[in-house]
Structure 1
Amino acid sequence: MLRGLYTAASGLVTQQRRHDTITTNISNIQTPGYKAQNTMVRSFPEMLLHLIGDEPASRANSTIGTLHNGVYAEELVHQFMQGDLEQTGRPTDFALVSHMTEVDGTAYAFDASGQAVTEDGDTLYQPQAFFAIEAGDGTQRYTRNGQFQLTNEGMLVHASGAPVLNRNGESVVLGADAAGIAYTMDRVAVSEGGLLVDKATGQAINDENGDPLALGIAQINNPNELVLEGNGLYRLDSEDAEVAFVADTSQVQVLQGYSERSNVDAARSMVEMMEATRAYEANQKMIQFYDRSLEKTVSEIGRV
Protein backbone atom coordinates (compact mmCIF):
# COMPACT_ATOMS: atom_id res chain seq x y z
CA MET A 1 0.00 0.00 0.00
CA LEU A 2 2.78 2.41 0.90
CA ARG A 3 4.39 1.80 -2.47
CA GLY A 4 1.23 3.05 -4.15
CA LEU A 5 1.25 6.08 -1.87
CA TYR A 6 4.82 6.92 -2.87
CA THR A 7 3.95 6.47 -6.56
CA ALA A 8 1.01 8.85 -6.29
CA ALA A 9 3.12 11.36 -4.35
CA SER A 10 5.86 11.35 -7.01
CA GLY A 11 3.21 11.94 -9.67
CA LEU A 12 1.79 14.80 -7.62
CA VAL A 13 5.18 16.56 -7.42
CA THR A 14 5.89 15.94 -11.11
CA GLN A 15 2.60 17.47 -12.26
CA GLN A 16 3.17 20.48 -10.02
CA ARG A 17 6.53 21.08 -11.69
CA ARG A 18 4.90 20.73 -15.12
CA HIS A 19 2.28 23.25 -14.06
CA ASP A 20 4.97 25.69 -12.86
CA THR A 21 6.87 25.40 -16.16
CA ILE A 22 3.75 26.00 -18.24
CA THR A 23 2.84 28.98 -16.04
CA THR A 24 6.29 30.45 -16.67
CA ASN A 25 5.82 30.01 -20.42
CA ILE A 26 2.42 31.69 -20.42
CA SER A 27 3.67 34.61 -18.33
CA ASN A 28 6.43 35.20 -20.92
CA ILE A 29 4.26 35.16 -24.04
CA GLN A 30 4.95 38.88 -24.53
CA THR A 31 8.67 38.64 -23.68
CA PRO A 32 10.79 39.29 -26.82
CA GLY A 33 13.02 36.39 -27.78
CA TYR A 34 11.71 34.10 -25.04
CA LYS A 35 12.06 30.38 -25.74
CA ALA A 36 9.49 27.98 -24.34
CA GLN A 37 10.51 25.36 -21.80
CA ASN A 38 9.28 21.79 -21.49
CA THR A 39 9.50 19.57 -18.42
CA MET A 40 10.97 16.20 -19.33
CA VAL A 41 9.18 13.47 -17.37
CA ARG A 42 10.91 10.14 -16.77
CA SER A 43 9.79 7.00 -14.97
CA PHE A 44 11.77 5.50 -12.14
CA PRO A 45 13.48 2.18 -13.00
CA GLU A 46 11.14 -0.79 -12.81
CA MET A 47 11.67 -3.38 -10.10
CA LEU A 48 11.60 -7.08 -11.03
CA LEU A 49 9.96 -9.11 -8.26
CA HIS A 50 10.78 -12.76 -7.55
CA LEU A 51 9.12 -15.20 -5.21
CA ILE A 52 11.70 -16.44 -2.72
CA GLY A 53 11.71 -17.90 0.78
CA ASP A 54 10.39 -21.07 2.40
CA GLU A 55 8.34 -22.25 -0.55
CA PRO A 56 8.23 -25.53 -2.45
CA ALA A 57 11.07 -26.05 -4.88
CA SER A 58 8.72 -25.73 -7.83
CA ARG A 59 7.89 -22.17 -6.80
CA ALA A 60 11.25 -21.04 -5.46
CA ASN A 61 12.83 -18.08 -7.25
CA SER A 62 9.87 -17.82 -9.65
CA THR A 63 9.27 -14.45 -11.26
CA ILE A 64 6.26 -12.48 -10.07
CA GLY A 65 6.56 -9.54 -12.47
CA THR A 66 7.65 -5.93 -12.63
CA LEU A 67 6.69 -3.10 -10.30
CA HIS A 68 6.48 0.52 -11.43
CA ASN A 69 7.66 3.22 -9.03
CA GLY A 70 6.12 6.35 -10.51
CA VAL A 71 7.61 9.26 -12.44
CA TYR A 72 9.76 12.32 -11.80
CA ALA A 73 10.61 15.60 -13.51
CA GLU A 74 14.14 15.09 -14.81
CA GLU A 75 15.04 18.43 -16.42
CA LEU A 76 13.84 21.50 -18.29
CA VAL A 77 14.46 21.56 -22.04
CA HIS A 78 14.23 24.76 -24.06
CA GLN A 79 12.56 24.82 -27.46
CA PHE A 80 14.69 27.03 -29.73
CA MET A 81 12.32 27.19 -32.69
CA GLN A 82 12.14 30.51 -34.52
CA GLY A 83 9.61 32.94 -33.05
CA ASP A 84 7.38 35.20 -35.11
CA LEU A 85 8.78 38.58 -36.15
CA GLU A 86 7.10 41.82 -35.17
CA GLN A 87 7.90 45.07 -36.94
CA THR A 88 8.57 47.82 -34.40
CA GLY A 89 10.22 50.48 -36.57
CA ARG A 90 12.71 51.31 -33.80
CA PRO A 91 16.29 51.51 -35.12
CA THR A 92 17.67 49.91 -31.95
CA ASP A 93 15.51 46.78 -32.30
CA PHE A 94 17.01 43.76 -34.03
CA ALA A 95 15.73 40.28 -34.79
CA LEU A 96 17.64 37.18 -35.82
CA VAL A 97 16.33 34.80 -38.44
CA SER A 98 18.30 31.61 -37.90
CA HIS A 99 18.04 28.55 -40.12
CA MET A 100 21.41 26.90 -39.65
CA THR A 101 21.81 23.45 -41.15
CA GLU A 102 25.59 22.98 -41.15
CA VAL A 103 27.71 21.43 -38.41
CA ASP A 104 31.49 21.40 -38.98
CA GLY A 105 30.93 22.20 -42.65
CA THR A 106 28.45 19.35 -43.27
CA ALA A 107 24.78 20.05 -43.98
CA TYR A 108 22.14 17.98 -42.16
CA ALA A 109 18.37 17.69 -42.40
CA PHE A 110 17.04 18.63 -38.98
CA ASP A 111 13.52 17.67 -37.97
CA ALA A 112 10.93 19.88 -36.27
CA SER A 113 12.49 19.20 -32.86
CA GLY A 114 15.90 20.41 -34.09
CA GLN A 115 17.59 17.00 -34.19
CA ALA A 116 19.36 15.03 -36.89
CA VAL A 117 20.99 11.61 -36.95
CA THR A 118 24.37 11.10 -38.60
CA GLU A 119 25.38 8.07 -40.66
CA ASP A 120 27.12 6.71 -37.56
CA GLY A 121 23.91 6.95 -35.56
CA ASP A 122 24.96 9.96 -33.48
CA THR A 123 22.38 12.60 -32.61
CA LEU A 124 23.12 16.20 -33.56
CA TYR A 125 21.25 19.31 -32.48
CA GLN A 126 20.53 22.19 -34.81
CA PRO A 127 22.89 25.11 -34.20
CA GLN A 128 21.29 28.39 -33.18
CA ALA A 129 22.35 32.03 -33.47
CA PHE A 130 22.32 34.51 -30.59
CA PHE A 131 23.37 38.07 -29.93
CA ALA A 132 26.53 38.13 -27.80
CA ILE A 133 26.41 40.15 -24.57
CA GLU A 134 29.18 40.91 -22.09
CA ALA A 135 28.37 40.04 -18.49
CA GLY A 136 29.67 41.95 -15.48
CA ASP A 137 32.45 39.41 -14.89
CA GLY A 138 33.76 39.83 -18.45
CA THR A 139 32.33 36.55 -19.74
CA GLN A 140 29.86 36.26 -22.59
CA ARG A 141 26.12 35.77 -22.42
CA TYR A 142 23.74 35.03 -25.28
CA THR A 143 20.24 36.26 -26.05
CA ARG A 144 17.59 36.41 -28.75
CA ASN A 145 16.08 39.58 -27.30
CA GLY A 146 17.40 42.24 -29.65
CA GLN A 147 15.58 45.22 -28.15
CA PHE A 148 18.73 47.21 -27.43
CA GLN A 149 19.34 50.77 -26.30
CA LEU A 150 21.99 53.37 -27.14
CA THR A 151 23.63 55.14 -24.20
CA ASN A 152 24.78 58.78 -24.19
CA GLU A 153 28.32 57.50 -24.76
CA GLY A 154 27.25 55.76 -27.98
CA MET A 155 27.38 52.23 -26.53
CA LEU A 156 24.79 49.69 -27.61
CA VAL A 157 23.47 47.82 -24.54
CA HIS A 158 21.03 45.06 -23.72
CA ALA A 159 17.87 45.74 -21.69
CA SER A 160 19.78 44.54 -18.62
CA GLY A 161 22.44 47.22 -19.23
CA ALA A 162 25.07 44.74 -20.43
CA PRO A 163 27.11 45.86 -23.47
CA VAL A 164 26.39 44.27 -26.83
CA LEU A 165 29.49 42.73 -28.40
CA ASN A 166 30.81 42.99 -31.94
CA ARG A 167 32.51 40.27 -34.00
CA ASN A 168 35.82 40.95 -32.25
CA GLY A 169 34.27 40.31 -28.84
CA GLU A 170 34.39 44.01 -27.91
CA SER A 171 31.60 46.42 -26.99
CA VAL A 172 29.67 48.01 -29.84
CA VAL A 173 30.43 51.74 -29.58
CA LEU A 174 29.32 54.18 -32.25
CA GLY A 175 31.91 56.86 -32.80
CA ALA A 176 31.63 59.99 -34.93
CA ASP A 177 31.58 60.63 -38.65
CA ALA A 178 34.24 62.48 -40.65
CA ALA A 179 32.76 65.80 -39.53
CA GLY A 180 33.08 64.81 -35.89
CA ILE A 181 29.31 64.44 -35.35
CA ALA A 182 28.43 61.54 -33.08
CA TYR A 183 26.41 58.78 -34.67
CA THR A 184 22.89 58.00 -33.51
CA MET A 185 20.93 54.90 -34.46
CA ASP A 186 18.69 57.01 -36.69
CA ARG A 187 21.72 57.54 -38.93
CA VAL A 188 22.84 53.91 -38.86
CA ALA A 189 21.60 51.00 -40.95
CA VAL A 190 22.39 47.39 -40.18
CA SER A 191 22.80 44.90 -43.01
CA GLU A 192 21.50 41.34 -42.91
CA GLY A 193 25.00 40.24 -42.01
CA GLY A 194 25.03 42.56 -38.99
CA LEU A 195 27.34 45.21 -40.52
CA LEU A 196 26.72 48.80 -39.36
CA VAL A 197 26.80 51.37 -42.14
CA ASP A 198 26.21 55.10 -42.47
CA LYS A 199 22.82 55.67 -44.09
CA ALA A 200 23.94 58.89 -45.76
CA THR A 201 27.13 57.59 -47.37
CA GLY A 202 26.55 53.84 -47.41
CA GLN A 203 30.04 53.38 -45.97
CA ALA A 204 30.78 50.93 -43.19
CA ILE A 205 31.26 52.41 -39.72
CA ASN A 206 34.61 51.47 -38.23
CA ASP A 207 35.41 50.67 -34.63
CA GLU A 208 38.30 52.08 -32.60
CA ASN A 209 40.71 49.69 -34.32
CA GLY A 210 39.63 50.79 -37.79
CA ASP A 211 37.80 47.53 -38.51
CA PRO A 212 34.24 47.49 -39.88
CA LEU A 213 31.80 47.51 -36.98
CA ALA A 214 29.37 44.57 -36.95
CA LEU A 215 27.09 42.98 -34.39
CA GLY A 216 28.51 39.85 -32.84
CA ILE A 217 26.27 36.93 -33.85
CA ALA A 218 27.32 33.84 -31.92
CA GLN A 219 26.71 30.36 -33.27
CA ILE A 220 25.97 27.76 -30.58
CA ASN A 221 26.37 24.29 -32.04
CA ASN A 222 24.47 22.60 -29.21
CA PRO A 223 21.93 25.05 -27.75
CA ASN A 224 20.85 22.44 -25.17
CA GLU A 225 24.07 23.24 -23.30
CA LEU A 226 22.83 26.77 -22.61
CA VAL A 227 21.75 27.64 -19.08
CA LEU A 228 19.04 30.28 -18.59
CA GLU A 229 20.03 33.02 -16.15
CA GLY A 230 17.15 35.47 -16.45
CA ASN A 231 16.46 38.64 -18.47
CA GLY A 232 16.52 36.41 -21.54
CA LEU A 233 20.26 35.73 -21.12
CA TYR A 234 21.92 32.34 -21.44
CA ARG A 235 25.38 31.19 -20.47
CA LEU A 236 27.55 28.24 -21.45
CA ASP A 237 29.02 26.19 -18.62
CA SER A 238 30.51 23.46 -20.79
CA GLU A 239 34.26 23.87 -21.26
CA ASP A 240 34.09 21.93 -24.55
CA ALA A 241 31.43 24.19 -26.04
CA GLU A 242 32.49 25.96 -29.21
CA VAL A 243 31.33 29.51 -29.90
CA ALA A 244 32.13 31.41 -33.07
CA PHE A 245 30.92 34.70 -34.53
CA VAL A 246 29.27 34.24 -37.90
CA ALA A 247 28.45 36.56 -40.77
CA ASP A 248 26.95 34.09 -43.26
CA THR A 249 23.69 35.64 -44.46
CA SER A 250 22.64 32.30 -45.94
CA GLN A 251 22.44 30.87 -42.43
CA VAL A 252 21.54 33.90 -40.29
CA GLN A 253 20.01 37.27 -41.08
CA VAL A 254 19.77 40.38 -38.91
CA LEU A 255 16.65 42.49 -39.39
CA GLN A 256 16.68 46.05 -38.09
CA GLY A 257 13.41 47.51 -36.84
CA TYR A 258 12.05 44.07 -35.98
CA SER A 259 11.71 42.10 -32.77
CA GLU A 260 11.42 38.35 -32.36
CA ARG A 261 8.38 37.38 -30.35
CA SER A 262 8.16 34.54 -27.87
CA ASN A 263 7.74 31.11 -29.46
CA VAL A 264 5.23 30.02 -26.80
CA ASP A 265 2.03 28.55 -28.26
CA ALA A 266 -0.70 29.97 -26.02
CA ALA A 267 -3.41 27.48 -27.05
CA ARG A 268 -1.15 24.47 -26.61
CA SER A 269 0.09 25.78 -23.27
CA MET A 270 -3.47 26.09 -21.97
CA VAL A 271 -4.23 22.51 -23.02
CA GLU A 272 -1.06 21.26 -21.32
CA MET A 273 -1.94 23.20 -18.18
CA MET A 274 -5.37 21.54 -18.03
CA GLU A 275 -3.73 18.13 -18.54
CA ALA A 276 -1.29 18.78 -15.70
CA THR A 277 -4.13 19.99 -13.46
CA ARG A 278 -6.27 16.91 -14.13
CA ALA A 279 -3.33 14.58 -13.55
CA TYR A 280 -2.53 16.44 -10.33
CA GLU A 281 -6.10 16.01 -9.13
CA ALA A 282 -6.04 12.28 -9.98
CA ASN A 283 -2.86 11.73 -7.95
CA GLN A 284 -4.33 13.80 -5.12
CA LYS A 285 -7.41 11.57 -4.99
CA MET A 286 -5.21 8.48 -4.91
CA ILE A 287 -3.30 9.87 -1.93
CA GLN A 288 -6.60 10.61 -0.17
CA PHE A 289 -7.74 7.03 -0.88
CA TYR A 290 -4.57 5.57 0.62
CA ASP A 291 -4.90 7.92 3.58
CA ARG A 292 -8.44 6.68 4.31
CA SER A 293 -7.33 3.06 3.89
CA LEU A 294 -4.48 3.52 6.36
CA GLU A 295 -6.81 5.29 8.78
CA LYS A 296 -9.26 2.40 8.60
CA THR A 297 -6.45 -0.12 9.09
CA VAL A 298 -5.24 1.62 12.23
CA SER A 299 -8.63 2.50 13.77
CA GLU A 300 -10.61 -0.66 12.98
CA ILE A 301 -8.41 -3.62 12.10
CA GLY A 302 -5.80 -2.65 14.69
CA ARG A 303 -8.36 -3.12 17.49
CA VAL A 304 -9.11 -6.74 16.58
Structure 2
Amino acid sequence: MLRDGQPAGRGDRGVWRGGRGDPVLRGLYTAASGMLARVLQQERLAGDLANVNTPGYKASRNVTEAFPELLLSRLDGTGAPVVGPLGTGTVVAEPGADMRPGPWVTTGRPQDLALEGDGFFVVMGPGGPAYTRAGNFTVGSQGYLQAPDGSPVLDTTGQPLLVGSAQFTVRPDGQVVVGDAVLGTIARVTFANPAGLRRVGDNLWQATAESGPAVPAATPVRQGVLEQSNVDPVQVVVAMLANFRAFEAAQRAVQAQDQTLGLAIQEVGRVT
Protein backbone atom coordinates (compact mmCIF):
# COMPACT_ATOMS: atom_id res chain seq x y z
CA MET A 1 0.00 0.00 0.00
CA LEU A 2 1.14 3.54 -0.63
CA ARG A 3 1.85 6.00 2.14
CA ASP A 4 2.15 9.62 0.97
CA GLY A 5 3.16 8.32 -2.47
CA GLN A 6 5.59 5.68 -1.10
CA PRO A 7 5.01 2.00 -0.30
CA ALA A 8 4.49 1.22 3.37
CA GLY A 9 7.47 -0.57 4.88
CA ARG A 10 7.28 -4.19 5.95
CA GLY A 11 8.09 -3.09 9.49
CA ASP A 12 4.73 -1.31 9.70
CA ARG A 13 3.09 -4.64 10.69
CA GLY A 14 -0.06 -3.76 8.75
CA VAL A 15 -0.76 -0.54 10.64
CA TRP A 16 -1.51 2.44 8.41
CA ARG A 17 0.56 5.51 9.16
CA GLY A 18 0.15 9.14 8.18
CA GLY A 19 2.84 11.29 6.69
CA ARG A 20 4.30 12.09 10.11
CA GLY A 21 4.44 8.49 11.26
CA ASP A 22 1.45 8.69 13.61
CA PRO A 23 -0.65 5.49 13.62
CA VAL A 24 -4.00 5.94 11.97
CA LEU A 25 -6.87 3.48 12.30
CA ARG A 26 -8.32 4.46 8.97
CA GLY A 27 -11.27 2.10 9.03
CA LEU A 28 -12.37 3.40 12.41
CA TYR A 29 -11.97 7.04 11.42
CA THR A 30 -13.71 6.54 8.08
CA ALA A 31 -16.78 5.01 9.74
CA ALA A 32 -16.78 7.68 12.47
CA SER A 33 -16.69 10.47 9.88
CA GLY A 34 -19.70 8.85 8.23
CA MET A 35 -21.59 8.93 11.54
CA LEU A 36 -20.76 12.60 12.07
CA ALA A 37 -21.90 13.47 8.54
CA ARG A 38 -25.22 11.67 9.10
CA VAL A 39 -25.79 13.52 12.37
CA LEU A 40 -25.33 16.86 10.63
CA GLN A 41 -27.60 15.84 7.78
CA GLN A 42 -30.27 14.72 10.25
CA GLU A 43 -30.16 18.14 11.92
CA ARG A 44 -30.65 19.90 8.59
CA LEU A 45 -33.51 17.62 7.59
CA ALA A 46 -35.16 18.24 10.95
CA GLY A 47 -34.81 21.98 10.34
CA ASP A 48 -36.55 21.62 6.98
CA LEU A 49 -39.36 19.62 8.54
CA ALA A 50 -39.82 22.23 11.28
CA ASN A 51 -40.22 24.94 8.61
CA VAL A 52 -42.72 23.12 6.40
CA ASN A 53 -45.29 25.84 7.19
CA THR A 54 -42.90 28.82 7.10
CA PRO A 55 -43.79 31.18 4.21
CA GLY A 56 -41.11 31.40 1.55
CA TYR A 57 -38.80 28.90 3.24
CA LYS A 58 -36.35 27.06 0.98
CA ALA A 59 -35.33 23.48 1.68
CA SER A 60 -31.68 22.68 2.33
CA ARG A 61 -29.59 20.66 -0.07
CA ASN A 62 -27.30 18.26 1.76
CA VAL A 63 -24.17 17.30 -0.17
CA THR A 64 -21.39 15.04 1.08
CA GLU A 65 -17.82 15.09 -0.17
CA ALA A 66 -15.10 12.47 0.18
CA PHE A 67 -11.74 13.14 1.75
CA PRO A 68 -8.81 12.65 -0.66
CA GLU A 69 -8.42 9.02 -1.68
CA LEU A 70 -5.37 6.84 -1.04
CA LEU A 71 -3.94 4.52 -3.64
CA LEU A 72 -3.53 0.89 -2.51
CA SER A 73 -0.77 -1.36 -3.84
CA ARG A 74 0.08 -4.98 -3.07
CA LEU A 75 3.63 -5.74 -1.92
CA ASP A 76 4.45 -9.29 -3.02
CA GLY A 77 8.17 -9.19 -3.75
CA THR A 78 7.64 -8.61 -7.47
CA GLY A 79 6.82 -4.93 -7.31
CA ALA A 80 3.79 -2.99 -6.19
CA PRO A 81 0.80 -3.83 -8.38
CA VAL A 82 -1.97 -1.27 -7.98
CA VAL A 83 -5.04 -2.59 -6.15
CA GLY A 84 -7.13 0.57 -6.40
CA PRO A 85 -8.19 3.69 -4.48
CA LEU A 86 -9.45 3.76 -0.90
CA GLY A 87 -11.67 6.49 0.47
CA THR A 88 -10.71 7.76 3.90
CA GLY A 89 -13.96 9.34 5.05
CA THR A 90 -16.75 11.74 4.20
CA VAL A 91 -17.64 15.28 5.14
CA VAL A 92 -20.81 17.32 4.68
CA ALA A 93 -20.29 20.26 2.36
CA GLU A 94 -21.62 23.74 2.99
CA PRO A 95 -25.42 23.54 2.71
CA GLY A 96 -27.01 24.88 -0.42
CA ALA A 97 -30.67 25.57 -0.91
CA ASP A 98 -33.42 24.42 -3.20
CA MET A 99 -34.53 27.72 -4.73
CA ARG A 100 -37.56 26.35 -6.54
CA PRO A 101 -40.68 28.42 -5.79
CA GLY A 102 -43.17 27.06 -3.30
CA PRO A 103 -46.94 26.77 -3.82
CA TRP A 104 -49.17 29.83 -3.44
CA VAL A 105 -52.06 30.34 -1.10
CA THR A 106 -54.57 33.18 -1.36
CA THR A 107 -54.94 35.08 1.92
CA GLY A 108 -56.66 38.31 0.90
CA ARG A 109 -54.43 40.32 3.27
CA PRO A 110 -53.08 43.43 1.50
CA GLN A 111 -49.75 43.04 3.36
CA ASP A 112 -49.18 39.53 1.95
CA LEU A 113 -47.13 39.67 -1.24
CA ALA A 114 -45.67 37.04 -3.56
CA LEU A 115 -43.24 37.20 -6.47
CA GLU A 116 -44.48 35.72 -9.71
CA GLY A 117 -41.15 34.36 -10.87
CA ASP A 118 -37.50 34.52 -9.90
CA GLY A 119 -36.24 37.15 -7.50
CA PHE A 120 -36.27 38.34 -3.90
CA PHE A 121 -37.72 41.11 -1.81
CA VAL A 122 -35.13 43.37 -0.17
CA VAL A 123 -35.18 44.21 3.54
CA MET A 124 -32.72 46.05 5.74
CA GLY A 125 -31.25 43.41 8.03
CA PRO A 126 -28.92 43.91 11.01
CA GLY A 127 -25.82 43.64 8.80
CA GLY A 128 -27.14 45.46 5.74
CA PRO A 129 -29.48 44.52 2.90
CA ALA A 130 -30.90 41.03 3.08
CA TYR A 131 -33.15 39.13 0.71
CA THR A 132 -36.24 37.00 1.21
CA ARG A 133 -39.01 35.20 -0.63
CA ALA A 134 -41.30 35.42 2.39
CA GLY A 135 -43.91 38.08 1.70
CA ASN A 136 -45.87 37.85 4.98
CA PHE A 137 -45.24 41.51 5.75
CA THR A 138 -46.85 43.77 8.33
CA VAL A 139 -47.21 47.51 8.82
CA GLY A 140 -45.22 48.77 11.79
CA SER A 141 -46.28 51.34 14.34
CA GLN A 142 -44.55 54.08 12.34
CA GLY A 143 -46.27 53.08 9.09
CA TYR A 144 -43.38 51.27 7.43
CA LEU A 145 -43.88 47.99 5.61
CA GLN A 146 -41.74 45.42 7.40
CA ALA A 147 -40.88 41.74 7.69
CA PRO A 148 -42.12 39.72 10.69
CA ASP A 149 -38.83 40.36 12.53
CA GLY A 150 -39.25 44.13 12.12
CA SER A 151 -36.78 44.57 9.25
CA PRO A 152 -38.13 47.33 6.96
CA VAL A 153 -38.93 46.49 3.35
CA LEU A 154 -36.89 48.61 0.93
CA ASP A 155 -38.04 50.39 -2.21
CA THR A 156 -36.13 50.73 -5.46
CA THR A 157 -34.22 53.74 -4.06
CA GLY A 158 -32.91 51.66 -1.13
CA GLN A 159 -35.11 53.43 1.45
CA PRO A 160 -37.68 51.91 3.85
CA LEU A 161 -41.11 51.90 2.26
CA LEU A 162 -43.62 54.10 4.13
CA VAL A 163 -47.20 52.95 3.47
CA GLY A 164 -48.94 54.66 6.39
CA SER A 165 -51.55 51.96 7.01
CA ALA A 166 -52.68 48.58 5.74
CA GLN A 167 -55.04 50.18 3.22
CA PHE A 168 -52.75 50.22 0.21
CA THR A 169 -52.62 48.61 -3.20
CA VAL A 170 -49.62 46.98 -4.83
CA ARG A 171 -49.59 46.93 -8.60
CA PRO A 172 -47.95 44.08 -10.54
CA ASP A 173 -44.99 46.36 -11.32
CA GLY A 174 -44.36 46.80 -7.58
CA GLN A 175 -45.77 50.30 -7.21
CA VAL A 176 -47.48 50.92 -3.87
CA VAL A 177 -50.54 53.13 -4.24
CA VAL A 178 -52.88 54.76 -1.74
CA GLY A 179 -55.72 56.49 -3.54
CA ASP A 180 -54.08 58.32 -6.42
CA ALA A 181 -50.71 58.74 -4.72
CA VAL A 182 -47.79 56.47 -5.56
CA LEU A 183 -45.79 55.93 -2.37
CA GLY A 184 -42.93 54.04 -3.95
CA THR A 185 -41.97 50.84 -5.73
CA ILE A 186 -41.08 47.64 -3.92
CA ALA A 187 -37.53 46.56 -4.72
CA ARG A 188 -37.03 43.17 -6.35
CA VAL A 189 -33.63 41.74 -7.17
CA THR A 190 -32.16 38.61 -8.64
CA PHE A 191 -28.74 36.94 -8.70
CA ALA A 192 -26.61 35.19 -11.29
CA ASN A 193 -26.40 32.16 -8.97
CA PRO A 194 -29.16 32.23 -6.33
CA ALA A 195 -27.96 28.87 -4.96
CA GLY A 196 -24.80 30.67 -3.80
CA LEU A 197 -26.69 32.87 -1.33
CA ARG A 198 -25.95 32.35 2.37
CA ARG A 199 -28.83 31.73 4.73
CA VAL A 200 -28.89 34.16 7.67
CA GLY A 201 -31.36 34.76 10.44
CA ASP A 202 -35.05 34.09 10.03
CA ASN A 203 -35.68 33.14 6.42
CA LEU A 204 -33.24 35.75 5.10
CA TRP A 205 -30.35 35.49 2.65
CA GLN A 206 -27.17 37.45 2.07
CA ALA A 207 -25.18 37.83 -1.12
CA THR A 208 -21.81 36.11 -1.43
CA ALA A 209 -19.03 36.05 -4.01
CA GLU A 210 -20.53 32.81 -5.30
CA SER A 211 -24.00 34.27 -5.77
CA GLY A 212 -22.79 37.49 -7.33
CA PRO A 213 -24.19 40.96 -6.60
CA ALA A 214 -27.89 41.78 -6.49
CA VAL A 215 -29.33 42.90 -9.83
CA PRO A 216 -32.65 44.82 -10.03
CA ALA A 217 -35.46 42.67 -11.40
CA ALA A 218 -38.89 43.38 -12.86
CA THR A 219 -40.56 40.31 -11.37
CA PRO A 220 -44.33 40.88 -11.07
CA VAL A 221 -45.78 41.20 -7.57
CA ARG A 222 -49.03 39.59 -6.50
CA GLN A 223 -50.97 41.12 -3.58
CA GLY A 224 -53.06 39.06 -1.19
CA VAL A 225 -51.09 35.94 -2.09
CA LEU A 226 -48.39 34.17 -0.06
CA GLU A 227 -45.69 31.78 -1.23
CA GLN A 228 -45.44 28.74 1.01
CA SER A 229 -42.43 26.61 1.91
CA ASN A 230 -41.13 24.36 -0.88
CA VAL A 231 -40.37 21.57 1.61
CA ASP A 232 -42.06 18.26 0.75
CA PRO A 233 -42.69 16.68 4.19
CA VAL A 234 -43.05 13.17 2.75
CA GLN A 235 -39.68 13.36 0.99
CA VAL A 236 -38.03 14.78 4.11
CA VAL A 237 -39.36 11.99 6.33
CA VAL A 238 -38.17 9.35 3.84
CA ALA A 239 -34.74 11.03 3.69
CA MET A 240 -34.55 11.09 7.50
CA LEU A 241 -35.28 7.35 7.67
CA ALA A 242 -32.66 6.56 5.01
CA ASN A 243 -30.17 8.80 6.77
CA PHE A 244 -30.80 7.02 10.07
CA ARG A 245 -30.21 3.62 8.44
CA ALA A 246 -26.91 4.89 7.03
CA PHE A 247 -25.94 6.10 10.51
CA GLU A 248 -26.67 2.64 11.93
CA ALA A 249 -24.51 1.02 9.22
CA ALA A 250 -21.60 3.31 10.05
CA GLN A 251 -22.12 2.59 13.75
CA ARG A 252 -21.88 -1.16 13.13
CA ALA A 253 -18.68 -0.58 11.16
CA VAL A 254 -17.20 1.28 14.13
CA GLN A 255 -18.14 -1.61 16.45
CA ALA A 256 -16.56 -4.13 14.08
CA GLN A 257 -13.35 -2.09 13.94
CA ASP A 258 -13.32 -1.84 17.72
CA GLN A 259 -13.74 -5.60 18.12
CA THR A 260 -10.95 -6.25 15.61
CA LEU A 261 -8.65 -3.88 17.46
CA GLY A 262 -9.48 -5.59 20.73
CA LEU A 263 -8.59 -8.99 19.30
CA ALA A 264 -5.34 -7.61 17.91
CA ILE A 265 -4.36 -6.30 21.34
CA GLN A 266 -5.48 -9.28 23.41
CA GLU A 267 -4.79 -12.29 21.14
CA VAL A 268 -2.19 -11.49 18.46
CA GLY A 269 0.49 -10.37 20.90
CA ARG A 270 -0.15 -13.10 23.45
CA VAL A 271 2.85 -15.37 24.20
CA THR A 272 1.95 -19.02 24.73
Using the size of structure 2 for normalisation, the TM-score is 0.85
Quick check: 1:195–1:204 contact (8 Å CA) kept in 2?
no
Residue in structure 1 matched with residue 153 of structure 2 by the alignment: 164
Equivalent AA in structure 2 for residue 279 of structure 1: A
**Equivalent pair of 1:39/1:76 in contact (CA under 8 Å):** yes
- Of 71, 85, 96, the residue aligned with 1:48 is 71
Structure 2 gap segments, 5+ residues each: 1-14, 16-24
Corresponding residue SS for 1:185: coil
Superposition deviation, residue 148 in structure 1: 1.0
Partner of 2:197: 226
C-alpha distance in 1 between matches for 2:140 and 2:28: 58
Residue in 2 that maps onto 1:276: 243
Q: Residues 136, 49 of structure 1: CA spacing in aligned structure 2 closer, same or farther, 3 A cutoff?
A: closer
- Is structure 2 residue 49 aligned with structure 1 residue 30? no
* Structure 1 residue aligned with 2:166: 185
Counting aligned pairs with the same residue, the percent is 33
Q: Distance in 2 between matches of 1:132 and 1:256?
A: 16
> How far apart are 1:297 and its partner, in Å?
2.1
* Residues in 1 aligned to 2:216 and 2:195: alpha-carbon distance in whole angstroms: 18
Aligned partner (choices 126, 131, 135) of residue 136 of structure 1: 126
Aligned residue for 1:102?
none
Tell whether 2:185 aligns with 1:214: yes
SS in 1 for 2:123: strand
After superposition, the CA RMSD in angstroms is 1.9
Q: Does 1:154 pair with 2:125?
A: no
Q: Distance in 1 between matches of 2:141 and 2:27?
A: 64
Task: Specify every segment of 5 or more residues in structure 1 that has no aligned partner in the other structure, as ranges.
Answer: 99-127, 175-182, 207-212
Shift of 1:71: 2.0
Partner of 1:238: 209
SS of the residue 2:185 aligns to: coil
Residue type matched to 1:221 in 2?
A: A
SS of aligned partner of 2:254 = helix
CA distance in 2, matches of 1:239, 1:134: 21
Residue 233 and residue 240 in structure 1: after superposition, are their counterparts in 2 closer, same or farther (change >3 A)?
closer
Residue 256 (structure 1) aligns with:
223
Aligned equivalent of 2:83 = 64
Q: Which amino acid aligns with 2:172?
A: E
